[in-house]
Chains A and B, each alone.
Chain A
Amino acid sequence: MTTQTSETARRVLSEPGAPVVVFDHVQLAFDDKVVLKDVSFTLVKGHTKIILGASGSGKSTAVKIIVGLLKADAGVVWVNGERVDQLTERELMAVRNDLGMIFQEGALFDSLTVRENVGYKLYEETDMPLEQVDRRVEEVLGFIDLVEHIDKMPSELSGGQRRRVAIARAMAFKPSIMLYDEATTGLDPITATTVDHEIIKLRDLENVSSIIVTHQLRDAFYVATHMAVRDKAGRVQITRATPEKERESEFIMLRDGLINFEGDADSLRKSTDPYIVSFLS
């Protein structure tokens, strides 16, 4: 029965428009503080979900629940056809093989070089031959234009470079879902744009489904309204997104543990809700 269900889930998930992350009436409180009252949303394969909200609104908590770093008090969470709210830490490891997460400040391992950080999962958790891991590390660092920093320690990198290395680390094992927790917070606009470009490139060129948690409106709208394409010479270009592509990015506004808004960039801009108007101003 379980095998049949898994096969059905796999078949459904392989189709375009499949729900890869489902958050169903999730609730979580820390002691007396209710962080998520009743939150439900679905991330469709290849699409982007941008979670906005003030500090403490539960944005980061939501992504941590998806990865299984936190357990919800109530509700159901599906990731790639698995109910992560019911899995043990050991069982979650298999689900995490297809999830890449970028933490606030990057969370690079201080004692490891850029190469060891990026290849961490492949070196430590797989049987992939070392030469192959090295090649993959150089490939992903090439993707984010940081190959020359491969043997540096994280402390030798700038804030923006650290975030990009964190993206490289999360993409090294080719996950199909990426979760960005405040990936551009604290960066200057120019550096933040380089990080935005990596998010867009991963989504459009590698077909990665993304959940972006941020309160940086500029970056949220930039990612939602731009797309990456390869020109005839194979160079990657970031251009204005087509209306169809723009609709693949959906915004969620969290407020007081509830979803205050859900819709595309255009609907968000046109919203007359006083909280959203003040948030966007």
Chain B
Amino acid sequence: MLRLVEKWAKQAAHEVQEYVYLTGSAFTSIFSRPFYRHDVVEQFDLIGFGSLTVVLLAGLFTGAALASQTGLTLDQFGARPVVGRLVSASMIKELGPVLTALMLTGRVGSGIAAEIGSMAVTDQINALRALGSDPVRKLVVPRVLAGIFMAPVLTVISDFIGILGGWAVARYQLQVSSSLYWASITKGLYMEDVWMGLTKPFVFGFLIATIACHVGLRTSGGTAGVGKATTLSVVAGSVAVIAADFFVTQLFVGLVYR
């Protein structure tokens, strides 16, 4: 039993070490040549534009459901007019970044792990190295950059669409006037909320892309291994996003909201 625990702990430590090494070499590769510019542009398009539909739909329905649910609760206090404030604060600080990140984990993280994992089990990664390309520069750097910079863009879009969805429910179901809805948003929104909402997606995008690349590059065991890598990427990515959400929130509560 003790041996099993020791083996598990060693494997876990090794995984963390490899992950840190990969993120370190990806970071240093960003600032040195060769830099595969067209791969970066391609990944920005695939990860950013490609995820737009799913993020829009998730944002819209989340905002609408949030307005509908909170409307009922706020009614108990006669506070239905401040529904906009609640929807915007929830979307911008928490739901927008986290749900967008979870959507990206499902769509982008799984895709990256499956693609790189397939390349690993069919010797394409070795072929890349044998042909003189560094897989970190060629595969990891473009995906990590796209993750870091497209997650905030998608989050802002998701926040806006979510607030719009909330407005539709507030206006037509809860019968709150549009002017009241938008006024409560501008009145109740602070810059600290915006900073928190904008900082989180940078962290989430980085985590989703690096975890997926790490899992993909370490794939072995044929097609079954690719399946496992894809699942692991989504599970680890989702847990990392939720855990990071807690820590970033704590950081802001401690440093910015004082």
Contact = CB atoms under 8 A, between A and B. Distances in A.
A110 B133 CA distance: 16
A36 to B, nearest CB: 18
A103 B127 contact: yes
A151 B132 CA distance: 23
Contacts of A89: 129, 134
A101 B138 CA distance: 19
Interface in B100-143: 118-119, 122-124, 126-127, 129-134, 138
A93 B118 contact: no
A104 B122 CA distance: 9
B34 interface: yes
A107 B126 contact: yes
Interface stretch (A15-23, A119-127, A128-136, A192-200): A119-127
Contact of A124 (B36, B119, B123, B126): B36
Output the residue of B127, B133, B134 with the most chain A CB within 10 A: B127
A9 B130 CA distance: 23
Given A124-B36, A125-B34, A103 B132 contact: no
Output the residue of B126, B131, B132 with the most chain A CB within 10 A: B131
A109 B124 CA distance: 6
Nearest to B126: A69
Interface in A208-229: none
Given A124-B36, A125-B34, A105 B131 contact: no
B32 to A, nearest CB: 10
Given A103-B127, A107-B127, A109-B127, A124 B133 contact: yes
Contact of A105 (B36, B122, B138): B122
Contacts of B36: 124
A99 B127 CA distance: 12
A90 B134 CA distance: 8
A121 B132 CA distance: 7
Interface residues of A, number: 23
A207 interface: no
A105 B123 contact: yes
Given A110-B118, A125-B34, A96 B124 contact: no
A97 interface: yes
B130 A101 contact: yes
Contact of B124 (A64, A90, A99, A107): A107
A103 B123 contact: yes
B109 to A, nearest CB: 19
Interface in B117-171: 118-119, 122-124, 126-127, 129-134, 138
Contacts of B122: 105, 107, 110
Contact of A104 (B118, B123, B130, B138): B123
A96 B118 contact: no
B181 to A, nearest CB: 46
A110 B117 CA distance: 13
A107 B132 contact: no
Output the residue of A90, A93, A105 with the most chain B CB within 10 A: A93
10 contacts: A68-B129, A69-B130, A104-B123, A107-B122, A107-B124, A110-B119, A124-B138, A125-B131, A125-B133, A169-B131
Given A89-B134, A103-B130, 16 more contacts: A67-B130, A69-B130, A93-B134, A96-B131, A104-B123, A105-B123, A107-B124, A110-B118, A120-B131, A121-B132, A121-B133, A124-B36, A124-B133, A124-B138, A125-B34, A125-B133
Interface of A: 64, 67-69, 89-90, 93, 96-97, 99, 101, 103-105, 107-110, 120-121, 124-125, 169
Closest 4 CB pairs of A and B: A107-B123, A107-B127, A103-B123, A101-B130
